[in-house]
Structure 1
Amino acid sequence: MRGVVRSVLFGGLRRAGGSGAPRRAGSSSVVAEAPAVRNRILTLQSMNPQVRAVEYAVRGPIVIKAGEIERELQRGIKKPFDEVIKANIGDAHAMGQQPITFLRQVVALCTYPDLLDSPRFPADAKSRASRILQSCGGYSLGSYSTSQGVACIREDVARYIEKRDGGIPADPDNICLTTGASEGIASILKILVSGEGKSRTGVMIPIPQYPLYSAAISEFDAVQVNYYLDEDNCWALDVNELRRSLYQAREYCNPKVLCIINPGNPTGQVQSKHCIEEVIHFAWEEGLFLLADEVYQDNIYSDNCHFHSFKKVLFEMGPEYSSNVELASFHSTSKGYMGECGYRGGYMEVLNLHPDIQAQLMKMLSVRLCPPVSGQAAMDVVVNPPQPSEESYEQFIREKEAVLGNLAQKARVTEELFNQVSGLQCNPLQGAMYAFPRIFIPPRAVEKAKELQMEPDMFYCMQLLEQMGICVVPGSGFGQREGTYHFRMTILPPLEKLKLLLQKVKEFHVRFLDEFS
C-alpha cells in the first residue's frame, strides 16, 4: 500500500506492465507522462443545492462587472468616464464618511493597552477601554469572549435599550453580541427552520427586501413568503397584504416567521407606531415569530418620522402581548452615524423564547466560539457614548450630528433630483441610506434585455455602468411587483460626488429613453 501511495505522490500510478523502478530525473530514457486526471469530488451538481440557490444582488454580477471596468481603467483603457462610482452598497467609510473619533480611540486603546498611559487620549475613552479589557481574558482583546459576548458590553447594551425604550427593562441574558446584525438574523432563522413538504417553515419577508433574507432562506431550505410594500403609499406596510400573503402561503408551507425591516432597506420608509401595533397584533393573532431588523434606527431624516422599536411598542400594548409574542431584534455598528462596517459589531435581543429554545440557541452560538472582540468593543461605544459631563461629549455630538445632518441633506437632494427627471419616480427618503427609484423602461428596451437573457432593470443598470461608470443594483435583486422596475443606490458619497452621480443618471436616463422609445 505504501508503494501505491508513493507512486501517486510522484506523478500518478504506473501503468500495468511498466518498470517497477522509478527512473532518475534527467535520464534520457524517461518518458514524460501527463498526470492522471480524476473526476472532481465537488461540482455544481454534487455541491449543496441550497448554497447553489443563494443569490446576493448587492455583490452580484453588476459589481463584478464594475471591478472589471476599474481594472481596465487602471491599465489605461479609455472609457467615457475617469472612475467607477460604486453606489451599490452601504459602506460608509469606503464612500468617504469619517470615523467617529471617540469610537476609534476606545478601540485603539483596547487593541494596544500601552496607549492607556498616553496623554493624547481622553480620560473617558481610557475608562471605557479599561473596563472592557478587565472583562477580557488576560486583559487582552485577542482572547476569546464567552459565546454571548463580553459580559460588561452586554450589560451596556441592556442599559442602552432601557434608555432608548423609556425605561422598559432589558436583561443582559437575553442579549447576544453578534458578527454584525447579519449573523444574528441568520442564527435565528436557522433555529426556526424545520419540516418538509407542506410543513416546511415559511418566512414572510417584505418585497422589496434586503437580499440577506432571501439568501438565508435559500441556504436553510425554508420557503420564502413575499408580502409587498405599498409603493404608492411611500412603501407603507399594509396588514391586509400581510394577511393575503399568509393565507396563500398556508396552502403550501407552514409560515411561522415575519420579518420587518424598519427603517426600510432598500426602500427607506419609517414605520409609524400605529403600523407597528397592527403588525404586532397580527403576529400575536396568527402565531408568528417576529424578526425586527432595526439597524438603521439612528438614520431618520424626515421631521414627521420617528423611530419606534418593536420591543417598546410590544410592551406598551400590554402584558397579553409582551408576555407572549416571540421577538428577536437586531442592531449593528455598520450603519447609523458610525458606519463601522469592517468591525462587524452587532447585537440581538430575544424575548419570550422558551428556556429550552434559548439553551439551544446558546449551544448553536457556542459553535462559532465568539464574535470578533474588537467588534464587540466598537458596539460598546455605540451603546455607551460620552455623556454630557465627560470631556469627549462635545466633539462626539458634533461629529454625530454632522454625519446625520449630512445624510439628511443628501436624502433630500436625491429625492428632489430624481423626481425632476421624466421616467424616474422616487418616494421620500425618510430613513436608512438608500434610494429605490422606480424607472420607466420602454418596451423596446425590455425586448432587448430578453434577447440578452437579462432582467430589464439589470440591462438598464449594466448600460448605466458601461456608459457612465455608475454602479447601482437592479431592483430585481431585491424583489419588486411584476411589471415595475427599480434600482437601489446609496446616498453615502460626498455631496458633490453624489450630485455628479445624480446628474449622470439623469443624462443617461434621457439618452436611454431616446434610444429605445
Structure 2
Amino acid sequence: MRINRQMLSSSYRLWTMANKNIKEQVVNGIRDKVLTLDTMNQSVKNMEYAVLGPILLRAMELEKELQQGVKKPFTEIIRANIGDAHAMGQKPITFMCQVLALCQYPDLLNSPAFPEDAKKRAKRILQACEGHSTGSYSASTGIQMIREDVAGYIEHRDGGIASDPENIFLSTGATSAIMAVLNLLVSGKGKNRTGVMIPIPQYPLYSASLAQFDAVQINYYLDEEHHWALDVAELQEALDQAKTHCQPRVLCVINPGNPTGQVLSHENIEAVIRFACEEHLFLMADEVYQENIYAEGSQFHSFKKVLMEMGPPYAQQLELASFHSCSKGYMGKCGFRGGYTEVVNMDPAVKQQMLKLLSVWVCPPVPGQIVMDIVMNPPQPGEPSYEQFQQEKKGVLGDLAEKAWLTEKILNKQPGIHCNPVQGAMFSFPRIELPPKALQRAKELGQAADMFFCIKLLEETGICVVPGSGFGQKDGTYHFRMTILPSLEKLEILLEKMSQFYAKFTQEYS
C-alpha cells in the first residue's frame, strides 16, 4: 500500500497543532475544564431560588455544628423557610398512606388491617397501571383514569361546569407543569422577546424559570397597604411600560398568594380576566393553595369557574392554564411530586406540542399521580374511611387557621413589624423597619439589608426564614417570609423569639 506523503505531512501538521493547543490548556499538569462558570449556560447561572439559597445552606452548616457538639445560643434549627408540611411535623392523612401502601405492595390486599374502601381504591388504581404495577411508566400525560378523576373533581368544585380530561395533564408537582407551559410561551429576540407578568412579591419559581428561558420578567406590585390586593391599574401600568422593550404575552397570578397569603375576591378575578382578554394575554393561574383558606369572609374561586360564568367573549377567547398540586393543602405530600394543569381554549396544535414536550420527560411519578387521585376522589359518605378522613382533614386545616391568626397577632405586637392577615396559603410575609446603621452594615458586607437581618436571626436564634429580597419587594421596604407550618407550641415560641430578637437587633443598630 502506497502512502501519500502530502496527506501524511498535512495530517502530522494538524496533529501537532492540536497537541500544541492541548498543551497550552494544561497548567501544572491540570487541563482546563470543558465546563466552567464562563462556558456554562449563562441562563442557568443567572437563575436564583431564594427559598433554598444561602440562608438554608448556612442553616445546614449550623445543624452539623450542633450535632458535633459546638455550643450555640440555641439547641435546634427551626426551618421556617419552606412549606414542607410533613417535615414540620404535620401528620400524614391515614387513607392516603393506606392506599399508597396497598398499591406499592399488593400482597397487603389480603391483610385485614386495611379498610375495604382503601383496598377497593388500590385495586382500581392498579388496574389502570400498565402491568398492574406502580413501577411501570404511565402515559406522558398521566394515567387516563386519574385524569378523568381530576376532571370530575374540577366539575364538582366549580359547580357543574364541564371539564374535559383531554385538557388535563398530570405533572411532577405543579412546578413541572408551570415550566412546561412557560416553555411553550417563551420565544423571540430583542424587543420581540416574550414578556411575562408576575406578581411582586412572587414565588421564585417564576423568576428562576424566566431567567432559564431567557424571557423578560415584567413586575406588577401587589398593594401591601390593602392586604396585598391585586390592582388592575397596576397591571396596566406595568404592561404599558413593558411594551417599549418586549412583547408581553403572559400574565401569572398566584391565588391564594405565595408568599403574601391573600385570597382574591370574585370581583377581582373578573377584573383580571377582562384585563388579560382585552390585552390578549395568556393567563396562568397558580392555585396550589386552594384548600388553604382561613380568614372569615375569604373564599376560593377558581379562575376557570369565574371565566366560564362570565360567558362570551371571555369564556370562548381567553387562553388559561390553571395548576394544582398534592404538596400543599391539607395533604402536604411534597415528596411525592404530584400535580396537574388544566388548559382552556388552548390551540389544539399547541396541545400536541405540549404532549411532545411532556413525552421527553416520559411521565410524572406514578406514586404522585396516586396521591393526586386520592385528593381528587376522597372517601365518600357511607364508606368506612370517610369519617376519619374528614376528621383528619378538618384537623389539619383548623390548626393552620389558628396558626395563621397567631402569627399575625404576635408579630403585630412588636413595634417595627407589620404583618398583614394570612388569609390563605401557608406563609406570612411581614414587613420590618430596619435602622440606618443596619442598612449601612449590610451595604459594607455586600448583602441585601433583609438578608443581613435574616442571617443574624439564624445565627443567634436558630430560626431559618427567607429574606423578602428573594421574592421581590418595593424599594425601601424590607420583609421576610416564614411558614406557619410548625406545631402551635413551636410556632408560638418561634414568634416570641423572633420578636425579642427584632427588638434587640434594632436597639443594637439604632
The residue aligned with 1:7 is none
Q: 1:35 to 1:252 in 2, by over 3 A?
A: closer
The residue aligned with 1:152 is 145
User: TM-score with structure 2 length normalisation?
Assistant: 0.94
* Aligned counterparts of 1:107 and 1:322: Cα–Cα separation in 2: 38
Match of 2:130 among 137, 140, 147: 137
Q: Which amino acid aligns with 2:41?
A: N
* Aligned counterparts of 1:155 and 1:277: Cα–Cα separation in 2: 28
The residue aligned with 1:368 is 361
Q: Percent identity?
A: 64
The residue aligned with 1:8 is none
Q: Which amino acid aligns with 1:151?
A: Q
Please, which runs of 5 or more residues in structure 2 have no aligned partner? 1-18, 20-26
- 1:127 Cα deviation after fit: 1.2
After TM superposition, the structure 1 = structure 2 runs for residues 40-59 of structure 1, keeping only pairs within 5 Å, are 40-59=33-52
Matched position secondary structure for 2:195: strand
Match of 1:37 among 22, 30, 36: 30
The residue aligned with 2:284 is 291
Q: Which amino acid aligns with 2:144?
A: A
- Give the superposed CA RMSD: 0.9
* Aligned counterparts of 2:97 and 2:150: Cα–Cα separation in 1: 19
- 1:319 Cα deviation after fit: 2.8
Please, which runs of 5 or more residues in structure 1 have no aligned partner? 1-12, 14-33
- 1:389 Cα deviation after fit: 1.6
CA deviations 1:112-150 (Å, max 9, x no partner) are: 111111111111111111111111111000000000000
* Aligned counterparts of 1:203 and 1:55: Cα–Cα separation in 2: 17
After TM superposition, the structure 1 = structure 2 runs for residues 172-211 of structure 1, keeping only pairs within 5 Å, are 172-211=165-204
Q: Which amino acid aligns with 1:424?
A: I
The residue aligned with 1:354 is 347
Aligned length: 485
After TM superposition, the structure 1 = structure 2 runs for residues 254-269 of structure 1, keeping only pairs within 5 Å, are 254-269=247-262
The residue aligned with 2:98 is 105
1:486 and 2:479 correspond: yes
Q: Which amino acid aligns with 2:382?
A: S
1:382 and 2:375 correspond: yes
The residue aligned with 1:251 is 244
Q: Which amino acid aligns with 2:378?
A: P
* Aligned counterparts of 1:346 and 1:389: Cα–Cα separation in 2: 28
CA deviations 1:155-184 (Å, max 9, x no partner) are: 000000000000000000000100000000
* Aligned counterparts of 1:185 and 1:62: Cα–Cα separation in 2: 26
The residue aligned with 1:68 is 61
Q: Which amino acid aligns with 1:153?
A: I
* Aligned counterparts of 1:291 and 1:126: Cα–Cα separation in 2: 37
The residue aligned with 1:239 is 232
* Aligned counterparts of 1:389 and 1:177: Cα–Cα separation in 2: 29
CA deviations 1:210-256 (Å, max 9, x no partner) are: 00000000000000000000000000000000000000000000010
Q: Which amino acid aligns with 2:307?
A: L
User: TM-score with structure 1 length normalisation?
Assistant: 0.93
* Aligned counterparts of 1:318 and 1:287: Cα–Cα separation in 2: 17
Q: Which amino acid aligns with 2:90?
A: Q
The residue aligned with 2:210 is 217
Runs of 4+ in 1 over 3 A off after TM superposition: none
CA deviations 1:423-461 (Å, max 9, x no partner) are: 000000000000100000001100000000000000000
Q: Which amino acid aligns with 1:181?
A: A
After TM superposition, the structure 1 = structure 2 runs for residues 426-441 of structure 1, keeping only pairs within 5 Å, are 426-441=419-434
1:124 and 2:117 correspond: yes
Matched position secondary structure for 2:339: strand
- 1:36 Cα deviation after fit: 3.3
- 1:35 Cα deviation after fit: 8.7
Match of 1:449 among 431, 439, 442: 442
